[in-house]
Amino acid sequence: MTLRGRLTSAFLVVVLGPVLLGSIFVALTVGAVSRERTAERLDHAATTVGTAVGALCRQLQAVADSVAVVPDGGRSAVAEQLITRGLATEVRLTGPDHAAVIPLGRGAARHTAIQPQASARTADNGTAGWRDCAGSGTAPDPAAITAISAAAYADDLTVIAAQRIDPGLLDRLGAAGGVGVALGATAPDRDGTATRQLAGGPGQPLPLTLSVPAGNPTLRYAILLMIVLATAVAAVLAARWLARSTTRPLGDLAWAADRVANGDLDTRVPIPRPDELGRLAGTFNRMTRELQSYVQALTASRDQLRRHLAILGDTLSSTHDLDRILPVIMRTAMTATGARAGLILLADATDGRLAARCGAGLTGTWDLPDAELSQRRLVPGRGVLGTVAATGSPLRGSSGAGPDEPACESYLAVPICAPPNDSETEPDPGTLGVLALYDRLGGPAFDDADLRTVRTFAGQAGIAVHNVRLHEEAQRLSLTDPLTGLWNYRYLREVLRREVERASRFGRMLTVLVLDLDHFKEVNDTYGHAAGDQVLGEFARRIRIGLREVDVAFRQGGEEFVVLLPETDAYGGVIVAERLGAAVREWPVPVDPRRPGLDDRIPISVSIGIAVFPEHGSTAQEVLDAADEALYAAKNSGRDTYRLAERESVVTGGPQPPRPGGGR
């Protein structure tokens, strides 16, 4: 059964139940009241009719007494006068000497001779159908009663005053009591007439039957049934209307909820009335609007996150530059968590301290340009960020961070770790840095969901940093000589071209030194290649010691090396050549001799060719070729010396006059 059917049934039970019970009660009450009113009416009528009959008897007694007290000669005249006045219908005078009858109606007396009786008081004088008001004598059959009478006595004379029983008398008695009056006992009619029997007796000699209509209960019940049916019809209509008006808004709500469940958030429920259901519909509409706004916000956030992830993916796949990768990771994490500010620090390989690599939204002393921000350093194990870097465990809180760290109201710091190493022999790289976010906008402190999200981005940052370092290491290995640790010949070509372009663009000089160990083949032949490798390694170390930080040394191949001296003229190049030659010449290289009798120290020397851009060439290759020619000139000059290339001649080694500009 539907809700509407249940509500209709409930309304009908609530409405028709009391109506039916009330109808039964009213029917019973009406019947009882009708019977009580009929009984009361009959009681009143019996009293009234009895009183009227008694008054009639007293009236007849007065007539008889009045006639009896009149002298003998005037009785007939008095009797006639009383009959004329309607106080009696007949007067009889009886006695031992005479008898006279004053008949009903008006006129002269009619005298009838009556035979004398033995006793005037007891003789039959023609009054057999009369009922004596005193109730004396044998009661005649009610059907034979023709009159009521009253007697009075004077000496031997008996005066009887009578009132004949006719329909007019009975009608007058009924009118007095408001009922129907019949002489004798009459069975009640079958059409609902109620009767009451009045037995004859002293003062009321007539046996009468009083009757009143008892009403028509069938009609009353029919009317009551019609009322009940009309009420039932009205109740059914009202119940249907109430059920429909109640369930229709609920049906609309169910329909709207189904549409919303299917994804149609534009659905709205009409508000028919400002009642409870109307407020429920209004609340549903408001909830739908808020849900729609929330979904739109989530969709926009999802799209924005997708864009950031796409940018992050493109950045990770297209570059190995941490200065481009780390800001994208940090801003994506800020967008995903709604953070106000963010900071990424990486561990410095030289001293282990945390160096700030990028930041956004920072305030106070940390609101610095990237160039100055990169100078900030934090010690591992100190403060929130240092603790995260030292322990490798994330931290979050709702108060300010540690000393010398960005000020905030809430923070979330997660370690940046390299991916686990699959090799069982090599240890894991450990913690590479820290990703920190500050002050979640529009909400409380960071929660567990934010922690999981930031862990994901920190993992991406760890992979990116690890990959970049692996790439840098692989690139370094591909561009360096594994024996000496210097850059190799391939990297020489790239750096020389770049330095020549820079020197040409800014109008600076660039000096190129080409160095070659003297008699190195003899070292290999005498001491072996292991000793030769030791000599090459020591020679490279002495070159690095004798150079500036901006100078770059390369192994061109075999025992031949190249040194680039940016922003250095020929005079500065000569000074470096002399310093390197002395450093090589003055300290023999200690080796492990292959055979007994060999010296454990090998004296070495170097020949050096010097060329300057743009003096000895306008391109990188021309300058390098000029330095090679100067090297050959130094070797041809007896080795262990240097030569400066010239456009037409080569300057020999040894004491050289000072040249103006750019000394070392």
21-50: average pLDDT: 80
For residue 106, which phi and psi values (nearest 5 degrees)? -120, 150
Report which listed range, 231-240, 539-548, 649-658, is most confident.
539-548
Q: What per-residue confidence (pLDDT) applies to 647?
A: 65
**pLDDT value for 2:** 66
CB distance 581 to 640 below 8 Å: yes
**What whole-number distance in Å separates Cα of residue 534 and Cα of residue 539?**
8
State the average pLDDT for the chain.
80
Q: Are 129 and 184 in contact (CB under 8 A)?
A: no
pLDDT attached to residue 426: 53
Alpha helices in 112-216 (DSSP H): 167-177
- The answer regarding whether domain 238-318 maps to CATH 3.20.20.150 reads no
pLDDT at 340 > cutoff 80: yes
More confident residue, 218 or 138: 218
pLDDT-based confidence at residue 119 (cuts at 50, 70, 90): very low
pLDDT at 649: 41
Span 63-89, mean pLDDT? 87
Between 230 and 27, name the one with better pLDDT. 230
pLDDT at residue 460 above 50?
yes
Residues in CB range of 502: below 8 A, 6 or more apart:
508, 566
Instruction: With cut-offs at 50, 70 and 90, classify the pLDDT of residue 620.
Output: very high
> Is 150 within 8 Å of 132 (Cβ atoms)?
yes
pTM for this entry = 0.44
Under 8 Å between Cβ of 331 and 315: no
Average pLDDT over residues 467-480: 76
Query: How confident is the model at residue 112, as a pLDDT?
Result: 34
pLDDT of 660 higher than 70: no
**Integer Cα distance of 663 and 646 in angstroms:** 18
Compute the average pLDDT of residues 457-482: 80
Count of CA atoms in the C-beta half-sphere (13 A) of 239: 20
181-211: per-residue pLDDT in tens?
Answer: 888 766 555 556 888 888 777 777 888 888 8
Return the ∠ at Cα 603 (arms to 602 and 604), rounded to 5°: 110
**257 confidence band (pLDDT: 50, 70, 90):** confident
CATH number for region 480-644: 3.30.70.270
**Please, which pLDDT band fits residue 429 given cuts at 50, 70 and 90?**
low
d(CA 60, CA 86): 10
Do 3-213 and 323-468 come out as alike in CATH topology?
yes
pLDDT tens sequence across 413-428: 999 988 776 555 555 5
Mean pLDDT of 349-372: 85
> Each residue of 374-415: pLDDT tens digit?
888 888 888 888 889 889 899 988 766 667 888 888 899 999
160 or 221: whose pLDDT is higher? 160
On the question of pLDDT at 116 being above 70, the answer is: no
Beta bridge partners of 480: 487
- The pLDDT value recorded for residue 661 is 36
Predicted pLDDT at 173: 83
Q: Is CATH 3.30.450 the classification given to domain 3-213? A: yes
Lowest mean pLDDT of 282-286, 290-294, 475-479, name the range.
Answer: 475-479
Residues 113-132 have a mean pLDDT of: 51
How much is the pLDDT for 192?
67
Cβ–Cβ contacts within 10 Å for residue 383, how many? 18
Q: What is the average pLDDT across 359-363?
A: 89
Residues 29-47, mean pLDDT to the nearest whole number = 81
Q: What average pLDDT does this structure show over 246-253?
A: 77
- Residue 217 confidence class, pLDDT cut points 50, 70, 90: low
Per-residue pLDDT of 500-536, as tens digits, reads 999 999 999 999 999 999 999 888 888 888 888 889 9
Q: Where are the domains of the chain?
A: 3-213, 238-318, 323-468, 480-644
pLDDT on residue 400: 63
Question: Is 122's pLDDT higher than 60?
Answer: no
In the CATH scheme, what is the code of domain 323-468?
A: 3.30.450.40
State the pLDDT at residue 562.
95
DSSP string, 356-405: EEEEES--GGG---HHHHTT-EE-TTSHHHHHHHHH---EEESS---TTS
pLDDT value at position 115? 33
Average pLDDT over residues 235-240: 78
Q: Do strands 147-154 and 130-132 pair parallel, antiparallel, or not at all (unpaired)?
A: parallel
102 pLDDT tier (thresholds 50, 70, 90)? low
